[in-house]
Amino acid sequence: MSKKLVRVAFLDADSGARIGHSELPLGQLPESFQAATTLELAGATWSVERAEPPTSAQFGATGNLTLTLRRIESAPPGDILYSLPTLCATLPAVAGAPAGADRLELHEDDWRQVELVSADLGDEVQAELRAVRQSFEQHARRDEHGRIYGFQGIHIRSQPVRPLSGTVSRSRLLSLLPSGARSRGGIGFRGQPGIVPSSFAVSVGRVLLYGLADGDSLAVLAVHTEPGPAAEPQPELVAALERSMREADLLLVDWCRVALVPPASIGDYLAATGAVGRS
């Protein structure tokens, strides 16, 4: 373990005030604060919101490190609520990206929450949907009007590992999209620099299509609705998605809504969720 000492200053994220300082051996500090990090200080748990500089190579060279912290308020386990009923078990790894590379940032919780799956994976999909329904039935917490405001337990989905079991062509999908479709580069995650290798993203209005490709073959194709003003009708996009789903025998799964959508209903689904306006 390195004996070199690093002077660490601790700042409160809410007030900006200095709440402490210490000298710590370089070897006791993480190699990077770019991933989510927590620490104990003055008998409380804090999350590291910002580290300047962020890596051990940098603060080891200067001997100085400033950590901006936010206190994590503890709560009894029964009071901890999740905002979603389900999450995908596995996130793809992120790698370094060339300078200037296009990158669309997603929240980690949004990964594969609405996705296209091969119809022949119906048994796997139905098993996962049953587990998500249990999150609603057993763990949902509702207000006096019956509206869900959180979940005490969630389902972590492990299937399907490869949601597109057949050959789904990326170039064919892109050729069907409206002329206004815009490439957004690769996918990144909030708080993590870099891009997921072999990822892509393209948007039409407020609808974002993203996923992973192995050459021209799609391994993951997911849908996300970006925030914004009222969505415009997108009949060409709806037609393109319906045709792609029919050609490749795909279904759309909205895991959080426990919805399984066939090609003929894709337009109604997108309109009902606000992704596109009604024609």
Q: Where are the alpha helices (DSSP H) in the chain?
A: 56-62, 122-134, 170-176, 235-248, 266-272
Question: What does the block give as tokens for 9?
Answer: 């200053």
Please provide the average confidence, as pLDDT, over all residues in the chain: 88
Report the side by side order of strands in the sheet with 250-254: 103-106, 182-189, 199-204, 207-214, 217-225, 114-118, 250-254, 259-261
Q: Which residue, 65, 53, 72, 60, is CA-closest to 10?
A: 65
DSSP state of 132: H
Look at residue 159 in the predicted model and tell me its pLDDT: 93
Asked whether 132 and 254 are in contact (CB, 8 A), the reply is no
Q: How confident is the model at residue 2 (pLDDT cuts 50, 70, 90)?
A: very low
Residue 26 CA to residue 57 CA, distance in Å, equals: 10
Asked whether 154 and 84 are in contact (CB, 8 A), the reply is yes
- pLDDT tens-digit map of 101-152: 788 899 889 999 999 999 999 999 999 999 999 999 999 998 888 889 889 8
Look at residue 110 in the predicted model and tell me its pLDDT: 93
Q: Tell me, yes or no, if the pTM score tops 0.85.
A: no
Report the side by side order of strands in the sheet with 5-12: 18-25, 5-12, 64-71, 44-52, 38-41
Q: CB-based contacts of 265: which residues, under 8 Å, 6+ apart?
A: none
